[in-house]
Amino acid sequence: MIFIGTMNLSRTRERGDFYCPDCESMQAYRLKAKRPWITLYFIPVVPIGKVEIVIRCDKCHSNWDESVLKVDADSHRELLEDQASYEIFRAVVLYLLSDGYMEENEIEPLREIASEVFGRDVDREELGRLCSSAEQSGIKVRNYVTSVLRYWNPEQQRLAIQSMFLAGSLRGELDSDRLELLMEIRQTAGLSDQGFRTLIEEGLQRSDQ
Ligand SMILES: [Zn+2]
C-alpha cells in the first residue's frame, strides 16, 4: 500500500521588528511562508498550491497580512483616535436623543460640539449623517457608553463627558434623567467629585467662547 497525503509546510523566511496592532507596540515578528505539499509515506515530495505569507507577532502570536509591515505607530494611533472621535460623538448624539427628539435650534451648537470632538470643521450634512446613523443604531446611551468607555483614554473620557454635558444643557437646565445618566457615566469613568467639577467648569468656559 502506498501512503499519499498532503501537508502544510511552513518555514520562517525572515525576522524583524514591526508595529503589532494588537500589542500596540513594537514587537519581533516572523515572516512565515506556508505551502501545501503532497506527501509520500509522510514525506513532502511535491509542492501544490501557492505560497502564503503570514506575519506572526512573537509576543501575542497574532497573524497578519504582509501589509501590516507598512503600518507604523503614528498611523495606527491616528486610526484609533479617529475611531474614538466617532464613538464620543455618537455617545453625545445618543445622549441628546435620549428623550427622543432634537430641535432645530440645537443643530448649530451640536455642530460646534462635533467640530470640537473631531478637531476639524463638521458641516451640517455630515452632522445629519452622524445623527441619523446614531439614531438608527437604536442603542441606549447608557449601554453604548458602558461598552466603549473603557477604550477611551482619560482625555477622551473627559471630552466625552464634557460634550455630553454641553449637549444636554442646550435646552437650559439639565433635566433629572440626563443628570442621573451623567453621574453614572462619571462613576464608570472613575472621576472624583473635584475632577468632575473641574471638567464641567472647563466645559462651561468652552461654550462661552
Ligand atoms: Zn502582538
Place of cell 505569507: 53
Residue 123 CB coordination number (10 Å): 10
Q: How many angstroms does the Cα of residue 29 sit away from the middle of ligand 1? A: 8
Q: Are 93 and 127 in contact (CB under 8 A)?
A: no
Q: Are 60 and 107 in contact (CB under 8 A)?
A: no
User: Domains in the chain, start-ordered, CATH in brackets?
Assistant: 4-71 (no CATH), 74-208 (1.10.3680.10)
Q: How many angstroms does the Cα of residue 168 sit away from the middle of ligand 1? A: 40
**What string of pLDDT tens digits covers the 209 residues of the chain?**
778 888 888 889 999 999 898 888 889 999 999 888 898 888 888 888 888 889 999 999 999 988 888 877 777 778 778 888 999 999 999 988 887 778 888 889 899 999 999 999 999 999 999 998 888 888 888 888 888 888 888 888 889 999 998 888 887 777 788 888 888 888 888 888 888 888 888 888 876 65
Q: How many angstroms does the Cα of residue 24 sit away from the middle of ligand 1? A: 7
Q: Are 137 and 127 in contact (CB under 8 A)?
A: no
